[in-house]
A and B are shown apart, each in its own frame.
Chain A
Amino acid sequence: MKKFIALLLIVVLQVIGNVCLSYGMQQVGAIKISNIWTFLTVGIQIITNPWIIGGVACLAAFFILFLVTLSHLDLSYVLPINASQYVLTALFAWLILGEIISPNRWIGIFLVTVGILIVSQSDRN
């Protein structure tokens, strides 16, 4: 049961963290760095943005949980579970961020997920 919750959290934390990062970066605006001052200005805007901070916190939590889980479970077991993050990310991006995802992109995400499942299966054997 604990393993199930850990694996679920690994995926969810990663997806939510990425969604927060995306929203935060859209608030900061398209990055165009022409000199050291724009670099510093953009940098400060990034690290003071609450969504970026929240996203980084989620991803840090994910990373720690990932390392801890890897000390108990095999990578070839954790990786396929993690492969679901691609579909989930697209789903959350569509639902929460209002992105338009073309059929080609869905097919690509499906192919990527299948590919990762095959890779982790090959590692297990």
Chain B
Amino acid sequence: MIHIWLAVLLLVLADTAGDILVTRGMKQVGKVTTLNPQELSKVVRRAITNLNLCLGILSSAFAFFMLLALLSWTDLSFVVPATALVYVFSTLGARYILKERVTPARWVGILFISAGVMLILSTANQDIYNKTKNCKPIGQNTKARIDIKCNRPPG
């Protein structure tokens, strides 16, 4: 179970960091105001050399891979609500890293989200993990019998 909670934490942290970095990077790159090919290529060059933007995209990609891994281990109805933690972490980041002002009303909402996510995290189960964990990567078992829920031959 611990690997599920750890993966959720990594997913949420990476997603939040990705959002913040991409926003910061896009602000630095500036608005796309014209479709003129020369201007556009300048914007593109600024975009692909912007560190914030590149790190942000990498971070979001990592978050996506964490999502895929989690979906192979546990329920969809567990994973998707767990990602709502992003609201909590981005608010914490806004307050303590970006030093922005957060209204009390927003904190109340964050409280509800936290309570909900904690309840959901407590319902973590290993049903899908147990169902598919004995699959072996193709090539390790020549007497293959393809299970409908598992492309890889079961162990």
Contacts and interface: CB of A to CB of B under 8 A. Distances in A.
Interface residues of B, number: 48
Contacts, number: 161
B16 to A, nearest CB: 15
B128 interface: yes
B153 to A, nearest CB: 10
Given A27-B150, A31-B73, A41-B138, A111 B80 contact: no
A101 interface: yes
A60 to B, nearest CB: 11
What does DSSP make chain B's interface, helix, strand, loop or mixed?
helix
Nearest to B107: A122
Contacts of B75: 22, 93, 97, 99, 101
What does DSSP make chain A's interface, helix, strand, loop or mixed?
helix
Residue with the highest number of chain A CB atoms closer than 10 Å, among B76, B108, B131, B138: B76
B142 to A, nearest CB: 15
B39 to A, nearest CB: 19
Interface of A: 18-19, 21-22, 25-32, 37-38, 41-42, 45-46, 49, 52, 85-86, 89-90, 92-94, 97, 99-102, 104-105, 107-123, 125
Given A18-B80, A111-B119, 5 more contacts: A18-B76, A26-B131, A86-B80, A118-B105, A121-B105
Contacts of A104: 119-120, 122-123
B48 interface: no
A117 B113 CA distance: 10
B115 interface: yes
Given A27-B149, A93-B76, A108 B137 contact: no
B110 interface: yes
B138 A111 contact: no
Interface string B117-155: 111101100011101110101110000000001111000
B67 A21 contact: yes
Given A25-B68, A105-B123, A115-B110, A30 B81 contact: no
A98 to B, nearest CB: 10
A97 B119 CA distance: 22
